[in-house]
Amino acid sequence: MSSFVQAVIEFASELGITPLAEGIETEEQRRFLLDKGCPQGQGYLFSRPVSEEEIEHLYREGGDQIKPRI
């Protein structure tokens, strides 16, 4: 599986696309992806699923403080 993930990350990078991983649940997964060159991600490690209304509220209330991270 790790060779497949590495190939997808490399392919995206060669196309000039920043890869984004979905479903990151553990710090180990986050570190693996960073080490392989995937700088962006989402999943339960960062936040539970958020509704469209919650996202809009968060950005209205403090959008400049919301920082994506991986």
| Domain ranges within the chain, ordered by starting residue | 2-65
Cα separation, 24 vs 48, in Å, equals 11
pLDDT less than 70: residues of the chain: 63-70
pLDDT of residue 67: 57
Tokens of 29: 């997964």
0.75 exceeded by the pTM?
A: no
Active site members: 22
Question: In the prediction, which pLDDT does 58 show?
Answer: 80
Tokens at residue 17, please? 């696309």
One DSSP character per residue, the chain reads -HHHHHHHHHHHHHTT---EE----SHHHHHHHHHHT--EE-STTT-----HHHHHHHHHHHGGG-----
Find all residues with CB under 8 Å of 25, minimum gap 6, and list them: 43, 44, 45
